[in-house]
Amino acid sequence: MSVPVPLLPEGTTVEEVDFAKSGGLVPGVVQHARTGQVLMVGFLDDDALRTTLSSGLATFRSRSRGGRWTKGETSGNVLSVEAVEVDCDRDTLLLHAIPAGPTCHTGDPTCFGAAALPGSFVHELDEVVRGRHELRPEGSYTTALFDGGVRRIAQKVGEEGVETALAAVAQDDEALLGESADLVYHLLVLLRSRGLGLDDVERVLRERHG
């Protein structure tokens, strides 16, 4: 008897995926687990899916080479899979993954260009801030903020909040938008300094919305 794999929804097994419908392969849409951006589409057979689930790395079946391949095995730009969803017909997969680098062989973040953007640059910015927090690149203003500590970042958020409020009552729309952008950016940095992110704020908003 097959045991459900943790990356699949509870109660779902590999055996339930309908590989037979399309000759042993099913399409797998890879979506950024944080921003919702569509990164690429590949094809999986039973073996590729099981390998993905066991290794945690997006693995596919190459139709041209006829073999199994793990995305990023040469470039290092692997896709770490956090969850796999199966569609209602059981013949298409959705892989929620975190990319280690550009997904497309052209060096672009996604194989679909701007068309794959989820409609929120704030999510992209949150990912940039996450990267700065982890890597701390020299010369980065964001790195300097993190190095200054939570109190210093909180002070900046307070300053930007006051400037935003003043712009709302005493300046034009462009000034208000500029100050609002500064406020949102520094708020993302403050959240990340506490180990939080935009997803956590959205979760609270959804809970309040009911």
Q: Are 105 and 77 in contact (CB under 8 A)?
A: no
- Per residue in 114-137, pLDDT tens? 655 555 678 878 888 988 998 999
- Tell me what pLDDT residue 66 has: 76
The type of residue at 98 is I
Q: Which two tokens stand for residue 12?
A: 């779902």
The residue with tokens 């794999």 is: 5
In this prediction, residue 9 has a pLDDT band, given cuts at 50, 70 and 90, of confident
Give the mean model confidence (pLDDT) for residues 16-27. Answer: 93
Give the mean model confidence (pLDDT) for residues 1-24. Answer: 80
* Percentage of residues of the chain with pLDDT beyond 70: 94
CA distances for 63 relative to 19, 55, 90, 160, angstroms: 14, 21, 21, 53
- Tell me what pLDDT residue 179 has: 97
Cβ-Cβ contacts under 8 Å for 186 (sequence gap 6 or more) = 145, 153, 156, 157, 160
Average predicted confidence (pLDDT) for the chain: 90
- Tell me what pLDDT residue 2 has: 46
Q: Which two tokens stand for residue 154?
A: 């909180």
What is the rounded CA–CA span in Å between residue 195 and residue 208? Answer: 22
Q: Which domains does the chain have, with CATH numbers?
A: 14-109 (3.10.20.810), 121-209 (1.10.287.1080)
- Tell me what pLDDT residue 3 has: 43
CA dihedral of residues 197, 162, 165, 147 (deg, nearest 10): -30
Give the mean model confidence (pLDDT) for residues 65-92. Answer: 92
Instruction: Tally the C-alpha atoms within 13 A of residue 186's C-alpha that lie toward its C-beta.
Output: 24
Q: Which two tokens stand for residue 183?
A: 């406020």
pTM above 0.75, yes or no: no
Q: In sequence order, what DSSP letters do the residues of 153-200 get, joined into one string? A: HHHHHHHHHHHHHHHHHHS-HHHHHHHHHHHHHHHHHHHHHTT--HHH
